[in-house]
């Protein structure tokens, strides 16, 4: 059956945008849904920004992989372009930190080809699914195979987005931060580590309701880090607490034992 390339490209854009939408929903929603015993913070502004970015990126990728007439060059070239885009994004985030920039270049030098190979199943699916659905009209949409393909695409986007689920040391740090905040709210500065003392007064003067967020980006810590900057990204992670009354406190945690290293308030 001959390709209807205008329709194929439109369907490719729609499928790619849908994957970006599902990815963002899972990426931001999976922790508040699955970790019900912790007050997980939902960054609505970040969610909208990511939704726009990944919705657009998915649409562009769906268009790119379905534009060439030959399937193999389309998959290879679009996977290469996606890898370049990821590299540029990582480089942009590292700007301003010479060590981080050098680290990004080093990682991408050794991992670009494996990353490209990892992207290929997604671009292949975008190409194949658009090629299949371009010939579906009218009542043919009722067939379970066509809807099954859409479900498979949705599950793929959800699976990729689910990789943001807090686990391991990140969850330990969140539980530790939650426990220390509640302890301060109930009994003051008794039985809290010395590293936690700088934010005790802020917590005591804040509302009892708060939300927690974990990140491995130490640049998000509330004060600049001037010491051991070359190694901080590997040795430290951050947990931030947002109080309903507006206060924000954060702690650096050591990766190797999930212990508090330094805390600050904003």
pLDDT at 79 over 80: yes
pLDDT at 230 over 50: no
**Taking the model in full, what pTM does it have?**
0.82
> Would you state the pLDDT for residue 190?
79
> Would you state the pLDDT for residue 69?
83
pLDDT top residue among 141 and 242: 242
> Would you state the pLDDT for residue 212?
96
pLDDT at 104 over 80: no
pLDDT at 72 over 90: no
Question: 229, 99 in Cβ contact below 8 A?
Answer: yes
Sort residue 185 into left (φ over 0), alpha (ψ -120 to 50) or beta: alpha
pLDDT at 160 over 70: yes
**Range 91-98, long-range pairs (CB < 8 A, 24+ positions):** 97/219, 97/229
pLDDT top residue among 187 and 240: 240
Q: Name the residue among 121, 189, 109, 175 with its Cα closest to residue 152.
A: 121
Instruction: Annotate the chain with three-state secondary structure.
Output: CCCCHHHHHHHHHHHHHHHHHHHHHHHHHHHHHHCCCCCECCCHHHHHHHHHHHHHHHHHHHHHHHCCCCHHHHHHHHHHHHHHHHHHHHHHHHCCCHHHHHHHHHHHHHHHHHHHHHHHHHHHHHHHHHHHHCCCCHHHHHCHHHHHHHHHHHHHHHHHHHHHCCCCHHHHHHHHHHHHHHHHHHHCCCCCCHHHHHHHHHHHCCCCCEEEEEECCHHHCCCCCCCCHHHHHHHEEEEEEEECCCCEEEEEEECCCCCEEEEEEC
Instruction: Lowest mean pLDDT of 54-68, 141-155, 163-177, 198-212, name the range.
Output: 141-155
Integer Cα distance of 69 and 50 in angstroms: 31
> Would you state the pLDDT for residue 103?
65
> Would you state the pLDDT for residue 90?
66
pLDDT at 187 over 80: yes
Q: What pLDDT, in 10s, does the model give residues 126-155? A: 888 888 888 777 777 677 777 888 888 889
> Would you state the pLDDT for residue 83?
77
> Would you state the pLDDT for residue 201?
92
pLDDT at 202 over 80: yes
Q: Please list the residues that pair with 253 across neighbouring strands.
A: 237, 260
Mean pLDDT over 218-225 rounds to: 83
Q: Which residues contact 41 (CB under 8 A, 6 or more apart)?
A: 211, 212, 213, 240, 242
pLDDT at 228 over 50: no
What does the longest C-alpha to C-alpha distance in the chain come to?
A: 75
Integer Cα distance of 123 and 129 in angstroms: 10
> Would you state the pLDDT for residue 5?
76
pLDDT at 37 over 60: yes
């Amino acid at each position: 059956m001959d390709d209807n390339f205008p329709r194929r490209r439109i369907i490719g854009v729609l499928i790619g945008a849908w994957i970006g939408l599902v990815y963002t929903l899972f990426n931001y929603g999976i922790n508040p849904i699955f970790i019900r015993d912790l007050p997980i913070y939902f960054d609505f502004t970040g969610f909208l920004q990511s939704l726009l970015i990944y919705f657009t990126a998915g649409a562009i990728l769906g268009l790119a992989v379905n534009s060439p007439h030959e399937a193999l060059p389309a998959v290879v070239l679009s996977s290469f372009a996606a890898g370049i885009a990821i590299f540029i994004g990582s480089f942009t985030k590292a700007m301003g930190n010479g060590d981080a920039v050098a680290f990004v270049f080093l990682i991408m030098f050794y991992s670009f080809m494996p990353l490209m190979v990892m992207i290929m199943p997604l671009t292949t699916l975008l190409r194949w699914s658009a090629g299949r659905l371009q010939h579906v009209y009218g009542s043919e949409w009722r067939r379970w195979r066509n809807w099954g393909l859409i479900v498979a695409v949705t599950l793929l986007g959800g699976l990729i987005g689910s990789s943001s689920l807090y686990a391991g040391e990140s969850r330990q740090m969140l539980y530790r931060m939650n426990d220390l905040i509640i302890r301060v709210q109930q009994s003051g500065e008794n039985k809290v580590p010395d590293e936690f003392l700088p934010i005790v007064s802020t917590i005591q003067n804040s509302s009892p309701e708060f939300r927690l967020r974990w990140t491995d980006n130490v640049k998000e810590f509330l004060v600049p880090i001037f010491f051991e900057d070359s190694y901080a990204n590997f040795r430290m992670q951050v947990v931030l607490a947002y109080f309903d009354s507006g206060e924000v406190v954060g702690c650096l945690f050591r990766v190797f034992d999930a212990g508090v290293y330094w805390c600050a308030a904003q």
